[in-house]
Amino acid sequence: MKKISVLIPCHNEEKSLPLLYPELVKLMDSISNYEWELMFVNDGSTDGTLELLRQLRQQDQRVNFVDLSRNFGKEAAMLAGFDYVTGDCMVIIDADLQDPPELIPEMIKWWEQGYEDVYAKRKTRGRESWLRKRLSLMFYRLLQSSSRFDVLQNVGDFRLLDRSCINALRQMRESERYTKGMYSWIGFKKKEIEFDRGNRVAGSSSWSFRQLFSLAIDGITSFTSLPLRISTVVGFIVSMLAFIYMIYVFIKALIWGDPVQGYPSLVILLLFLGGIQLLSLGIIGEYIGRIYNETKNRPDYIVRNFNDEKPL
Ligand code: UDP
Ligand code: MG
């Protein structure tokens, strides 16, 4: 019998889990020709999430939980899940029921037909602020146009991955993780299905604006070095303009004998160039910071316990 794992990263989800679990049980009972495994990753929750997982495991041996030593963020929590799941395929789903479990049977159907990565695309995004929607759109445009891989818009982590994909993702141990890009990078046979994204059933989104922003920067820096090239190009253009301006000033002074009135233009140029230089430095700095982090080669997450026993 084939085994299906469901991976659920959880950060302070004590309010959502009691709603999610019955849904998953309904699903598992309705598709009984598979063996099931629920893999919860407790990503350093500060509420009663862990207690709840313990209780669930006592009633139901299909429930497994990885308890991380602190909050490592969803990307790292998912990697922990990739390492611990044992299924022939894995479905990643949010704990807040924003990803409808009713879609899973359809995913399994496509998987059985040979697709290795069945992902769900949101037709609608659920309740989110206008600004977040706009910024997210802008971000995907930017990433789309600057990298060689399709990083799909309105596609999240809600997907079914075949064992071959899981193994591929497990090899990617970079610490600045942008998993959404990795799904495209690893390739494999993909299938898109659509759904309407609902609202969170309980609790609130754990992503602060700052975290989303830094995820966006991670996304860009880990999949493209275009910003570096942009600073080269801008530098080149500015130098050319400066050169033309210099010739113009020379001609004006030498041929027509115009006295050079320089102060305001000097200040403007100085500020402009200074700004561009700082910007370029900043861009280089972003990459260097990431190089520094990667070279430390630290593990992406630390596990305290697996099912209340010693970790792998
Ligand atoms: N999550 C996590 N660690 C974090 C933040 C979030 O494991 O540091 C989990 C969270 O419990 C949920 C999923 O990631 O299951 C999606 O998080 P959330 O609903 O907050 O994000 P959004 O839906 O707003 O993108
Ligand atoms: Mg959510």
Q: Whose CA is nearest to atom 24 of ligand 1?
A: 205
The Cα–Cα gap between 88 and 102 comes to 20
pLDDT digits (tens, 9 = 90+) for 197-216: 777 666 677 677 787 788 78
pLDDT of residue 125: 66
How far away, in angstroms, is 126 Cα from ligand 2 center?
9
How far away, in angstroms, is 296 Cα from ligand 2 center?
31
Q: Whose CA is nearest to atom 16 of ligand 1?
A: 94
- Whether 162 lines ligand 1, by a CB cut-off of 6 Å, is no
Which ligand is located closest to the Cα atom of residue 10? Answer: 1
The Cα–Cα gap between 201 and 39 comes to 20
The Cα–Cα gap between 267 and 282 comes to 22
pLDDT of residue 123: 78
- Whether 14 lines ligand 1, by a CB cut-off of 6 Å, is no
Of 10, 11, 13, 69, which is best to mutate to test ligand 1, by the most ligand atoms within 8 angstroms of its C-beta?
11
Flag whether pLDDT at 294 surpasses 80.
yes
Query: Of all residues in the chain, what percent carry a pLDDT higher than 90?
Result: 40
Which residue in 124, 75, 69, 77 sits closest to 99, CA to CA?
124
Flag whether pLDDT at 115 surpasses 80.
yes
Of 23, 52, 96, 218, which is best to mutate to test ligand 1, by the most ligand atoms within 8 angstroms of its C-beta?
96
In three-state form (DSSP H/G/I as H, E/B as E, the rest C), the secondary structure along 261-291 is CCHHHHHHHHHHHHHHHHHHHHHHHHHHHHH
pLDDT digits (tens, 9 = 90+) for 39-76: 999 999 998 899 999 999 999 999 999 999 999 989 99
pLDDT of residue 147: 66
pLDDT of residue 68: 94
How far away, in angstroms, is 204 Cα from ligand 2 center?
8
Closest ligand 1 atom to residue 11 Cα is 11
Listed in sequence order, the DSSP H helices in 148-256 are: 163-171, 179-186, 209-223, 226-254
Which residue in 35, 37, 53, 56 sits closest to 45, CA to CA?
53
Of 19, 24, 74, 210, which is best to mutate to test ligand 1, by the most ligand atoms within 8 angstroms of its C-beta?
74
pLDDT of residue 149: 64
Q: Whose CA is nearest to atom 11 of ligand 1?
A: 10
How far away, in angstroms, is 258 Cα from ligand 2 center?
66
Flag whether pLDDT at 151 surpasses 70.
no
Of 15, 21, 49, 94, which is best to mutate to test ligand 1, by the most ligand atoms within 8 angstroms of its C-beta?
94
pLDDT digits (tens, 9 = 90+) for 239-291: 788 778 878 877 877 887 766 667 767 777 787 788 788 888 888 888 888 88
CB contact set of 276 (below 8 Å; sequence gap of 6+): 231, 234, 235, 238
Which ligand is located closest to the Cα atom of residue 95? Answer: 1
Which residue in 223, 151, 220, 232 sits closest to 190, CA to CA?
151
Indicate the DSSP class of residue 259: P
CA distance from start to end of the chain: 25
The Cα–Cα gap between 157 and 274 comes to 41
CB contact set of 260 (below 8 Å; sequence gap of 6+): 249, 252, 253
How far away, in angstroms, is 158 Cα from ligand 1 center?
12
Closest ligand 1 atom to residue 98 Cα is 23
SS3 120: strand
DSSP string, 57-98: HHH-TTEEEEEESS---HHHHHHHHHHH--SSEEEE--TTS-
How far away, in angstroms, is 17 Cα from ligand 2 center?
13
pLDDT of residue 206: 67
How far away, in angstroms, is 152 Cα from ligand 2 center?
18
Report the side by side order of strands in the sheet with 303-306.
Answer: 190-196, 117-124, 155-162, 89-92, 3-10, 35-42, 63-68, 303-306
The Cα–Cα gap between 306 and 311 comes to 5
How far away, in angstroms, is 280 Cα from ligand 2 center?
35
